[in-house]
Amino acid sequence: MILDGKTPTGPIEKTWDKHRFDMKLVNPSNKRKFKVLVVGTGLAGGAAAASLGELGYNVEAFCYQDSSRRAHSIAAQGGINAAKNYPNDGDSIYRLFYDTIKGGDFRAREADVWRLAQVSNNIIDQCVAQGVPFARDYAGYLDNRSFGGAQVSRTFYARGQTGQQLLLGAYSALSRQVKAGTVKMYERTEMVDLVVVDGVAKGITCRNMITGEIKSYWGDAVCLATGGYVNVFYLSTNAMGCSVTAAWKAAQKGAYFANPCYTQIHPTCIPQTGDHQSKLTLMSESLRNDGRCWAPKNKEDCDKAPGDIPEEDRDYYLERKYPSFGNLAPRDIASRAAKEQCDDERGVGPGKRGVYLDYATAIERVGEHTIKERYGNLFEMYEKITDENAYKRPMRIYPAPHYSMGGLWVDYNLMSNIPGLFVLGEANFSVHGANRLGASALMQGLADGYFVIPYTIAGYLATVTPGTVTDEHPAFKESKEQVQAQTDKLLNIKGKKTVSEFHRELGKVMWEDVGMARSESSLKNALQRIPEIRDEFWKNVNVTGSGAELNQQLENAGRVSDFLEFAEVFTIDALHREESCGGHFRTEHQTDDGEAMRDDENFAYVAAWEFKGAGKAPELHKEPLKFDNVKLAVRSYK
Amino acid sequence: MDLTLHVWRQSGPKDKGQLETYPAKGISPDMSFLEMLDEVNEQLIKTGKTPIVFDHDCREGICGTCSQTINGKAHGGQDRTTVCQLHMRSFKDGDEIFIEPWRARAFPVIKDLIVDRTALDTIMQAGGYVSCHTGGIPDGNAHPIGKPVADYAMDAAECIGCGACVAGCPNSSAMLYTSAKVAQLAVLPQGKHEAKARVKNMTDALQAEGFGNCTNHLECEASCPKGISVKFIAKLNREYMKAVVS
């Protein structure tokens, strides 16, 4: 099937304004009759729940954390982009649009990206109004920095905690609505099924993580803002609770999963110290603004203290390979380059999986005080974890899975192929194409939540009668029974291996074979291994305790069982995409000097997969991508 | 290294709960405290015992989920460190470690090391916000905010809402937590207009939720993994006086 993204036509700069006018509205007095469920309370979900509640909809919001302030948006350090052009350095909505399309390696929809760039400026205003303490200069104006491959300074930041501060802004708006009674908040509540009635999303089934109670909630629309899926790699920078579960439950009910193979590996993480560790700590890539990446030129030097390696024996590989971008080369390029140094046996630190990020030059130039002001908390974090002082000794860094550009397929209105099911933020696939630029995740989450969904959901709700289906409908009972059966099944296996062991095993396959560089043979190997692990999981997993209590083993078992199904579709997508683009690098498709080679003729489309059951071939639906406003160019950061 | 853990086990809110002893063997000094507990849990599962439940999520010291009292100190007592950022290198081979949940009337134990911190959200809902609408907002640079003020607000905003200040306080007061938000918003031009109502409503909620009052022990600042200063409590008191006197 050819999918229709329902993008408005006409001049790109007018698409969103025209669309906003063309969409239907819901009468103010009717809004309270509509119930909207929002799952996930990170930047996208929190902003959406707050904004929809304020508009007058009857909102119920859900999160697995103990408070809506704790979603993993909180961990974003570096900043948020906007096309304000405050520094007068040549930025514009068009440039942010162009950079995002280009950064995404021409695999995103033009109109969606334009809208993102257009509303980016509203986001900054909104956050300032909420009291988000962005960095300011001495005159009191908002400060900007250049970030992750951008040649203009368009990134707004709040020390190294921009995600935390923006989420607290959204959380404060949400708290205000909870107090006002327009939003009912359900914490420690995990969505474990999507309820679909006659092909339309009408509710969700959740597990109360304290009592174990399985309960359904009905709504006239369901918004999933449940984040990304890179914990499928086991090793990742995501929070421990991040999973594909909510999105995957929707996929099991027929929602298409788009471009799962587009995942981003973050270049500046703290290397792993041993197998016991699944969580890797990311350090903002703003670190690369002043740090210089290098590896020893000679293998023999790898065990030496970095200070003992003379300048001429250091390979500043990013500056050498990409003279104009240097240490600010995009994430995928920087990540692969770091891995290449290690694959060449010139890595440093435990297991030789690390390269140096050196501040000596910057400290000499601007002084330790300035570096401390810019990155103080990151240096502190690094020291806590590694026991090393990065002011005195270069940091060690290594890439780790970090963000998923792929996600549930949505049209321009953020609605999936299941009517009534909207998907926001990282959970959808929409704006980052095959690769996301730094400081754009926060922008997308808040754009979707504050400035897109409040309009587009009205366009949908205006076409439905509120409350036609409630939890009295048999589909809800069926959903609860299905969840209960799944829970019982997991608890009754009583096998020999722990949930973590299976997750680690799956992650190893994904990282080795479906990670930063993928080949036909590695992907085929993964497609053999994943079903084997899944089969063993369902025969030999040991989930202790019962379903009717707080049971973290059971929670994890559910998430890992979903990863085991999802991983296969992910790998199939990577195998089918016979090109390299953005975060998807196929070793067969590269230039002589190791750069990604896109195939625009055959692959300029969104691959949306329809899940047909575990172990069955998913069906591919394509949405062709048209580029009327940008010229497809080969990305070059030389 | 080999350690002996004494861990608080409590099956539910109504259970009395007790400390139980488990060995933790072959622990690497590079492990984080929570990775050590993961390891112990894997062993407990393998030997047919019930794993210890504890709150955790981001494991990079920013989400505020992890919450354990280690050897009587919230987050283990290391300066500016959450449990998830505490590393085993700060313990010695053969150490005995006591692990308990946050202890406060306003934080009832749910199970083992997990407590209910809903009361902290309730305090925020009472007024920890600027009542602005989504959209219709002036340009971000319309109101310049001097760097010292912006920095002060940022210092306060660093609170991660973990509740260590409450766990560390002999009165189980949430004054530091509340004051950080009150102070942040009181100094900003956007938050000034609601300052009086905010401080009154938030301190009312603080009392209603069963937190104690502040008697200047300053244990909160010492326990805070983000180093939030008690100067914000002084600010809260001034704001409160302004609100009730004028």
SS3 assignment for A31-76: HCCCEEEEECCCHHHHHHHHHHHHHCCEEEEECCCCCCCCCHHHHC
pLDDT of residue A360 exceeding 80, the answer is yes
Residue A373: band (very low, low, confident or very high) from pLDDT cuts 50, 70, 90: confident
User: Looking at the domain A266-400, which fold is it?
Assistant: Flavocytochrome C3; Chain A, domain 1 (3.90.700)
Average pLDDT over residues A489-505: 97
Shortest distance, CA A598 to any CA of chain B (angstroms): 35
Q: Considering chain B, what percentage of its residues have pLDDT values greater than 70?
A: 100
Residue B3: CB atoms within 10 Å: 20
CA-CA distance, B81 to B33, in Å (whole number)?
11
ipTM of the complex: 0.98
Lookup: tokens for A314: 């250091």
Model confidence band, residue A376 (pLDDT cutoffs 50, 70, 90): confident
Q: Do A75 and B126 touch (CB under 8 A)?
A: no
CATH number of domain containing B98: 3.10.20.30
Give the model's pLDDT for residue A637. 64
Quote the pLDDT of residue A285: 79
**Dihedral, CA of residue A367, residue A368, residue A374 and residue A380, to nearest 10:** 170
**Same domain as B128, residue B43:** no
pLDDT in tens, A180-209: 999 999 999 999 999 999 999 999 999 999
B57 to chain A, closest Cα gap in Å? 5
Amino acid at B133: H
Question: Is residue A85's pLDDT more than 90?
Answer: yes
Q: Which residues pair with B87 in a beta bridge?
A: B32
Q: Is the confidence at residue B246, as pLDDT, over 80?
A: no
Please say if A331 is a catalytic residue.
yes
Percent of chain B with pLDDT over 90: 99
Q: Which of residues 307-366 of A touch B (CB under 8 A)?
A: none
Asked if pLDDT for residue A473 goes beyond 70, the answer is yes
Would you put residue A140 in left (φ > 0), alpha (ψ -120 to 50) or beta?
A: left
Long-range pairs for A186-189: beta carbons < 8 A, 24 or more residues apart: A186/A60, A186/A61, A186/A62, A186/A63, A187/A63, A187/A65, A187/A66, A187/A67, A187/A68, A187/B118, A187/B121, A188/A63, A188/A64, A188/A65, A188/A66, A189/A62, A189/A63, A189/A64
- Residues A602/A578, Cβ–Cβ less than 8 Å: yes
The tokens for A623 are 């949405």
Q: Domain check: are B98 and B175 in the same one?
A: no
Distance CA B236, CA B179 (A): 5
pLDDT of residue A1: 81
Alpha-carbon separation of residue A570 from A43, A544, A583 (angstroms): 25, 29, 13
Helix axes B118-125, A162-180, angle to 10 degrees: 80
Least confident of A182-186, A276-280, B96-100: A276-280
Beta-carbon separation of B57 and A553 below 8 A = no
- Residue A557: what pLDDT? 98
DSSP label at A137?
A: -
**Contact residues on chain A for B128, CB-CB shorter than 8 A:** 172, 175
Q: Is residue B46 located within the same domain as residue B164?
A: no
By Cβ distance, the residue of B62, B128, B130 closest to A161 is B62
pLDDT value, residue B21: 98
B123 and B91 in a common domain: no
B65 and B157 part of one domain: no
Q: Please state, as a whole number, how many other Cβ atoms lie within 10 Å of the Cβ of residue B116.
A: 17
Cβ–Cβ under 8 Å, residues A533 and A509:
yes
Same domain, B58 and B28: yes
Q: How does pLDDT run across B150-202, given as a tens digit for each residue?
A: 999 999 999 999 999 999 999 999 999 999 999 999 999 999 999 999 999 99
> Which chain A residues are closer than 8 Å to B144 by Cβ?
136, 139-141
CATH of residue B229: 1.10.1060.10
Rounded distance, CA A388 to CA A401, Å? 24
Nearest residue, CB atoms, B58 vs list A138, A239, A451: A239
Give the DSSP letter of residue A591: -
CA distance linking residue B32 with residue B83, whole number of Å? 8
Write out the H or E segment, with its range, that includes residue A85: none
The predicted structure's pLDDT at residue A336: 86
For A142-202, give the DSSP string: BP-B--TT-SS--EE-STT-HHHHHHHHHHHHHHHHHHHTSEEEE-SEEEEEEEEETTEEE
Q: Which has the higher per-residue pLDDT, A339 or A209?
A: A209
Tell me what the mean pLDDT of segment A5-31 comes to.
96
Structure tokens at A157: 């930041």
| Mean pLDDT in residue range A303-316 | 95
Q: How confident is the model at residue A253 (pLDDT cuts 50, 70, 90)?
A: very high
d(CA A344, CA A635): 25
Q: B154 and A133 in contact by Cβ < 8 A?
A: yes
Second-level CATH architecture of A12-264+403-461: 3-Layer(bba) Sandwich (3.50)
Within A431-498, residue ranges assigned H as helices are 441-446, 453-461, 474-493
Examine the domain organization and report whether B48 and B160 are in the same domain.
no
Is the CB of B138 less than 8 angstroms away from the CB of A125?
A: yes
- What does the mean pLDDT of chain A come to? 95
Do residues A548 and A505 lie in contact, with contact meaning Cβ atoms separated by under 8 Å?
no
Q: Could you tell me whether strands A355-358 and A292-296 are parallel, antiparallel, or unpaired per DSSP bridges?
A: antiparallel
pLDDT band at A540 (very low <50, low <70, confident <90, very high): very high
| Cβ contact B154:B133 at 8 Å | no
CB atoms within 10 A of CB B141: 17
Q: How far is B185 from chain A (nearest CA, A)?
A: 6
Domain that holds residue B81: 3-111
CA–CA gap between residue A23 and residue B175 (Å, rounded): 48
Tokens at B62, concatenated: 């920013």
The whole-chain average pLDDT of chain B stands at 97
Q: Are residues B80 and B43 in the same domain?
A: yes
Q: Which of A292, A331, A336, A635 is catalytic?
A: A331
Q: What is the pLDDT of residue A638?
A: 65
Same domain, B7 and B59: yes
pLDDT confidence of residue A274: 80
B126/B212 same-domain check: yes
Chain B residues touching residue A276 (CB < 8 angstroms): 28, 31, 35, 38-39
**Count of structural domains, chain B:** 2
Structure confidence at residue A202 (pLDDT): 98
The reply to whether residue A133 touches residue B134, judged by beta carbons under 8 angstroms, is: no
Which position has the token pair 């912006």?
A: B150
What confidence category does residue A353 fall into, taking pLDDT thresholds of 50, 70 and 90? confident
What residues of chain A lie within 8 A of the CB of B131, using their CB?
176
User: Cα dist. A271→A297, A300, A465, A550, B197 in Å?
Assistant: 20, 21, 53, 33, 48
* Mean pLDDT, residues A494-500 taken together: 97
**What does the buried/exposed string (b/e) look like for B187-196 if buried means 16 or more CB atoms within 10 Å of the residue's CB?**
bbebbeebbb
A208 by DSSP, 3-state: which?
Answer: strand
pLDDT computed for residue A149 by the predictor: 65
Choosing among 3.90.1640.10, 3.40.50.620, 1.20.58.100, 1.10.10.10, the CATH entry for A486-624 is: 1.20.58.100
Pairing of strands B3-9, B96-100: parallel
CA angle A124, A159, B168 (to 5 degrees): 115
User: Within 13 Å, how many C-alpha atoms sit on residue A90's CB side?
Assistant: 6
Question: Are A580 and A106 contacting, i.e. CB atoms less than 8 angstroms apart?
Answer: no
A233 three-state secondary structure = helix
**Model's pTM, two decimal places?**
0.96
Which of A130, A279, A281 is the closest to B132 by Cβ? A130
The answer to whether residues B205 and B156 belong to one domain is yes
What interhelical angle do A93-103 and A110-130 show, nearest 10?
120
B83 & B194 share domain: no
With beta carbons less than 8 A apart as the criterion, state whether B62 and A164 touch.
yes
- Strand pairing partners for A422? A223, A415
Q: Measured between alpha carbons, how far is A583 from A340 in angstroms, rounded to an integer?
A: 16
pLDDT digits 0-9 by tens, A593-638: 678 899 999 999 999 999 999 999 999 999 999 999 999 987 666 6
**Average confidence (pLDDT) over A136-150:** 89
**What's the pLDDT at A384?**
87
* Inter-residue contact A238 to A230 (CB < 8 Å): yes
**Contact residues on chain A for B88, CB-CB shorter than 8 A:** none
